Amino acid sequence: MKQVVCRTSELGPGELTRTQVGPIPVVVIRASDGTLHGLVAKCLHQGGPLDKGKLYEHMTPGLGLGEYIPQEGCEVLKCPWHGYEYDIRTGCVIADPSRRLQQIAVREEGEEIVAELVPPTPSPAAASA
């Protein structure tokens, strides 16, 4: 099942949008490096609307007291309801990578961005166990 999300020019780096693929709500994100990511837009906690979430670069503690540095290549989507944070590349919960949102395949086809349901992949934590 495939769904046209929007025109490629309508989703810039650091932006997200919502679509529906069949019965599944999907958040489509264009990361700051231009890559596209699709995740089920329903939070694992209590079903919050992730398409209303905030997108930002993940920060990790630095060496100094109160110092935080950006974790390169890790952008986070934060649920607007209670703050669960997800790695947009994997769908994994930042605080517990064994929990993961289903990823939805998204890509550019000509001038359009499309989302498509494909079989789920195992979580990185499960694959390394």
- Residues 38 to 57: which contact ligand FES by CB under 6 A? 43, 45-48
- Residues 22 to 41: which contact ligand FES by CB under 6 A? none
Task: Give the strand pairing for 103-109 and 112-116.
Answer: antiparallel
- Interface with ligand FES includes 91 (CB under 6 A)? no
**CB within 8 A of 4, min separation 6: which ones?**
112, 113, 114
DSSP code at position 80: T
Say which amino acid occupies 104. I
Structural Rg of the chain based on CA atoms = 15
**In the complex, what is the shortest distance from the CB of residue 53 to ligand FES, in angstroms, rounded to a whole number?**
8
Among 81, 97, 99, 125, which residue interacts with ligand FES (rule: CB under 6 A)? Answer: 81
Of 27-35, 80-88, 90-98, 103-111, the window that binds ligand FES (rule: CB under 6 A) is 80-88
Distances (CA, A) of 76 to 4, 14, 29: 24, 11, 10
Q: Among residues 38 and 53, whose Cβ is nearest to ligand FES?
A: 53
Residues in contact with ligand FES, counted by CB under 6 A, come to a total of: 10
Gap between the Cα atoms of 123 and 112, Å rounded: 29
Q: Among residues 47 and 73, whose Cβ is nearest to ligand FES?
A: 47
Interface positions with ligand FES (CB under 6 A) = 43, 45-48, 79, 81-84
